[in-house]
């Protein structure tokens, strides 16, 4: 049979675990709120908006990469390395 002192010790430990979890939750909610605020500043109000923006930016990156490669090729042709 478990001693009363052990039970009290376990309850205190669980109580501390709960307090720690509440603090972690509060931190996570704060970070999430900040991320949501940042996304809204880019006009992203939903996951769908985010996916659309991501696709648009990926296309832009592709175009920029092609332009960089072309310009780099021109540089290599025109100047000695």
Per-domain residue ranges for the chain?
Answer: 1-41, 46-81
Q: Are 53 and 42 in contact (CB under 8 A)?
A: yes
Q: How many helices (H) and strands (E) does the chain have?
A: 2, 0
Q: What pLDDT is stored for residue 2 in this prediction?
A: 74
Of residues 81 and 44, more confidence is placed in 44
pLDDT tens for 20-75 read: 999 999 999 999 999 999 999 999 999 999 999 999 999 999 999 999 999 999 99
Residues in the chain: 81
Q: Are 71 and 77 in contact (CB under 8 A)?
A: no
CA distances from 52 to 38, 57, 60, 79 (A): 16, 9, 13, 41
Looking at residue 43, the DSSP 8-state letter turns out to be T
Longest dimension (CA), the chain: 87
pLDDT at 1 over 80: no
């Amino acid at each position: 049979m478990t001693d009363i002192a052990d039970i009290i010790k376990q309850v205190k430990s669980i109580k501390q675990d709960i307090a720690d979890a509440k603090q972690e939750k509060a931190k996570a909610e704060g970070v999430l709120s900040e991320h949501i605020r940042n996304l809204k500043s880019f006009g992203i109000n939903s996951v769908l908006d985010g996916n659309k923006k991501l696709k648009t930016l990926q296309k832009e990156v592709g175009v920029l990469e092609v332009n960089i490669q072309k310009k780099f090729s021109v540089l290599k042709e025109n100047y000695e390395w």
